[in-house]
Amino acid sequence: MARPNRRPLLSFVTCVLGIIVTWTVILPWVSSRPAVHQRLEFLDRRGIDPSAMYYTELDVMDDILDRLEGRPYRDAKQQ
């Protein structure tokens, strides 16, 4: 009697366990790091939804992009 090939099942279980560990251990640890926490607070103070698909469509991003690209500050209300 032929022995079934368990390699695909083992690969699947390994992938699922990797995803579970990443989601429940690694990502919470990363989100608790000071730099990530500061970035999330920065976004929250400016009303930016980190899950938004296109940040450049948000009005608040004009000031942030100006600062990052070294352009002079422009008030969003003046536009």
pLDDT tens digit sequence for 4-29 = 888 999 999 999 999 999 999 999 99
Domain count, the chain: 2
Higher-scoring residue by pLDDT: 55, 69: 69
Q: What is the CA radius of gyration of the chain?
A: 22
pLDDT tier at 59, thresholds 50, 70, 90 = confident
State mean pLDDT over 45-57.
72
- Domain holding 37, by residue range, is 10-45
Rounded-to-integer distance, Cα 55 and Cα 62, Å: 10
What is the model's pLDDT at position 55? Answer: 56
What is the model's pLDDT at position 9? Answer: 92
- Residue 22 belongs to a domain: yes
Q: What is the mean pLDDT of the chain?
A: 82
Residues 39 and 16 in one domain: yes
Residues 19 and 30 in one domain: yes
